[in-house]
Structure 1
Amino acid sequence: MTVNKPNTDKEIIQAYKRSGDMELLGELYEQYMHLVLGVCLKYLKSKAEAQDAVIEIFEELVVKLQNHEVDHFKSWLYVLTRNHCLMKLRKQKSRGHEEEIGEAFMESEPFQHHEDETRLEDNLEKLKSCIAKLKEEQKRCVDLFFLQEKCYQEIADSTNFDLKKVKSYIQNGKRNLKICMEQSE
């Protein structure tokens, strides 16, 4: 008796979901690895970082394919790859910003630390208050995007909001937070 080997991407994904066979997933991913690497190079601009990202994306696939219904694997993988790279860049940018803030604190006069700390605490309290005033959808999306560092697609998947709605909620929430913070000064 011969077992039919899955041929299409969708059949391979279904077989992987049923069996959890990493070899099937590896064979599927291998077909598109050069595309994933190309996208990673485009965004990350570093061969070493791009190669690391290719491995990280495969690790994401192991979990995400179990939880998502994927009809067009190639385009879905492209979006996953792009989002992964954008999140990686955002984390690098925020880490750089945190380092700048840290350096600014270290270089400031000692007597300014208490004033800065008090101002920071006041701003955090104002921000919490302003976040509480947001509409529930905006609050949820802003939290997932800025505090939990989720990408648009991950937010859409977890909230069941349309992708365009997620972008709108984040943009409007950000604008409303800025207005609220300015009014509370």
Structure 2
Amino acid sequence: MEKAPQTDEELLLAFKESNSQDVLAKLYLRYTDLVYGTCLKYLKDAEASKDAVMNIYQELLQKLPNHEVENFKGWLYVLTKNHCLMQLRSSKKMITVEFNPAVMQSEDFMHLDSVLDREQDFKKLEGCMEKLPEEQKQGIQLFYLENKCYNEIVEQTGMEWNKVRSLIQNGRRNLKICMDKND
């Protein structure tokens, strides 16, 4: 007699009781296409998405024992989305510089000009930040310089979510206008 397929809930319960990777793998395999598709949607790179599918499984092993999950598919989707967003956020912090051997071999110091230009841009940016209304400046600092998400800013400032979003958008626009004027 063929055994009926187990539901997500039954597999979750079995995993919580046994902490068996085989049980979790059986459950996760049902949704790897969903996880991969979601990763591909956010990361827009097949190889990075395949890596993310594996990393999310590892994340499941750590997080699932400590969470009460009623709807595994929905919970997994949110976990996947958050994983991708964190990857995207952390990749923004990394600066990629093209290697140019001609500059490295050159005896002239033209590359110093770009360093000086960049330093001037930072000074302009600091000046423009000072011209922003206080709430916009606070929003920009928390979001871009302290890498806080909207929800963290809402918690910290007590402002409504839409107001935080508006302050950051307006602050960014005002900074761009100010920077363009100073060119």
Cross-structure match for 1:40: 39
Residue 159 (structure 1) aligned with residue 153 (structure 2): yes
* Bigger Cα Rg: 2
Structure number with higher helix proportion: 1
Residues 158 and 92 of structure 1: CA distance in aligned 2, closer, same or farther (over 3 Å): closer
In structure 1, the residue corresponding to 2:142 is in which secondary structure?
A: helix
1:171 and 1:47 mapped to 2: Cα distance? Answer: 31
Match of 2:96, SS?
helix
In the alignment, structure 1 residue 130 sits paired with structure 2 residue 131: no
Give the TM-score, by structure 2 length. Answer: 0.57
Which whole-Å CA distance do the structure 1 matches of 2:152 and 2:64 have between them?
Answer: 15
Instruction: Answer whether contact 1:105 1:113 (CA < 8 A) is retained.
Output: no
Query: Within 1, Cα distance between the matches of 2:161 and 2:66?
Result: 18
Q: Which residue number in structure 2 is paired with residue 139 of structure 1? A: 141
After TM superposition, the structure 1 = structure 2 runs for residues 170-185 of structure 1, keeping only pairs within 5 Å, are: 170-185=168-183
Residues 158-183 of structure 1, C-alpha deviations (whole Å, 9 max, x = no match): 33467655654443232122123234
| 1:19-168 alignment runs, 5 A limit | 21=19, 23=21, 26=25, 28-42=27-41, 44=43, 47-61=46-60, 72-82=71-81, 84-85=83-84, 88=87, 98-100=96-98, 103=100, 106=103, 110-131=108-129, 133=132, 134-144=136-146, 148=147, 155-160=149-154, 167-168=165-166
**SS of the residue aligned with 1:99?**
coil
Matches of 2:69 and 2:137, distance apart in 1: 32
Identify unmatched segments of 5+ residues in structure 2.
1-6
TM-score when normalising by structure 1:
0.56
In 2, Cα distance between equivalents of 1:55 and 1:90: 19
Partner AA of 2:124 in structure 1:
K
RMSD: 4.6
Distance, in Å, in 2 between the alignment partners of 1:61 and 1:88 is 16
